Structure 1
Amino acid sequence: MTDQHVLTWAVTESGGYETAWVTLSGTGLRARGRVLGLRPRPYWMTYELETGQGYVTRRLQVTAETPSATHRLDLRRDGGSWTADGKPLPEVAGALDCDLGLSPLTNAMPTLRHQLHTGPGRHDFLMAWVSVPDLTVRPSEQTYEHIGLTARGARIRYTSGDFSSDIEFSRDGLVLTYPGIGHLLRAD
């Protein structure tokens, strides 16, 4: 079964917006998106994301343009090894997911994989976190914990370092409200 979604979030942290065309098929996800941000400095960004089975990242291609530079990233995961623009990233070896900074979309992969939007669970993850707009990749330890079901889906507590937020997900496992980051404006 294939589900297609067009989602637009107001990203309050960046003072901008993100629109993503998302296809969920079996246990895989494909997405392409466009982002406009005003903070930390104005930027435009486009991305394409592809996962394999189990919502495990295969590839994230991103281009970010600021007034002073254009940054590109081709992030790939192959059998547990990661590369950025062809260069090995041993610091994120073993990670299953990428996490594109300030993007509500990439919180879906671990949530969907572990069905945290449908029932109890708590999982710790190592992520290949991508800083925006410079597109630097860093390791990030994160925890996702199912807090409870809501009228629209579920609430999941996201924690990374000193940051914590109770994110509301739809019944499809996509972000509706991410306190401190943004909220869904429209879904088709």
Structure 2
Amino acid sequence: MTVLPRAFAWQRTDTTGGEFATLDDRRGLHARGTAFAADRGLYTCRYDLHTDEGWASTRFEVTAEGGGWLRTLRMERAAGRWRVTTGEQGDLERVLRGAPFAGIEEPDRLHNVLDVDLYNSPLTNTLPIRRLGLHRAAPGTTVTIEAAWILLPSLAVLPVEQTYEVLEGRRVRYRSENFTAVIEIDDEGWVTEYPDLATLA
């Protein structure tokens, strides 16, 4: 296994939980992370993320696990198309009634997606910020993208529209559907404060 040179940790501020990731961001991004939370049942997840040199996501593998169940998701993008495969052991439905199936029935709905967004993960919010150069952009710069939102703990994948607006003072306003948050970032674009969600440790 490759040793990755950097590490970040975020403490959840809305519930018991956190995220830890090691990464190499010298030529695109390779990140391995672990997160756990008690917000929708008690669960943990482990992920391995790769982007190309322009920070567009190319491969994302994640395992989510809780008492009596385990799910896996693998997403790979090649030639402009996503391939999505899933696996399941145990019974998440017993713990979380109404939990959707992992993955997505029609991967072609992800045709315009270049970024993965893991539910409540500060690390994956950095992907479009770095890919679009928003950490260096002038205040007022606004970009709308389509991302693959990966729900936890189900690992269902949803294409969602997201808007990022650069504000003064290393802040970015994030909007998706009816949700809005002003995220604080450092000079490299890493999330340092996500209100009512997480803070960089």
**Letter matched to residue 159 of structure 1:** R
- 1:29 CA displacement: 0.6
* 1:94 aligned residue (112, 117, 130): 112
Q: Which moved more, 1:81-90 or 1:15-24?
A: 81-90
SS at match of 1:54: coil
Distance 2:15 2:59 in 1: 24
Residue 6 of structure 1 is matched in structure 2 by 7
Residue 66 of structure 2 is matched in structure 1 by 66
Residue 39 of structure 1 is matched in structure 2 by 39
Computing the radius of gyration from Cα coordinates, the structure with the larger value is 2
Distance 1:116 1:64, change over 3 A: same
Higher strand share: 1
Aligned length: 178
Verify: 1:18 aligned to 2:24, yes or no: no
Distance 1:175 1:79 in 2: 30
- 1:85 CA displacement: 0.7
Distance 1:81 1:13 in 2: 35
SS at match of 1:177: strand
**Letter matched to residue 174 of structure 1:** W
What is the Cα-based RMSD across aligned positions, in Å?
A: 1.6
- Aligned sequence identity (%): 34
- 1:88 CA displacement: 5.5
Distance 1:94 1:103, change over 3 A: same
Verify: 1:115 aligned to 2:133, yes or no: yes
Distance 1:23 1:4 in 2: 6
**Long gaps (5+) in structure 2:** 87-104
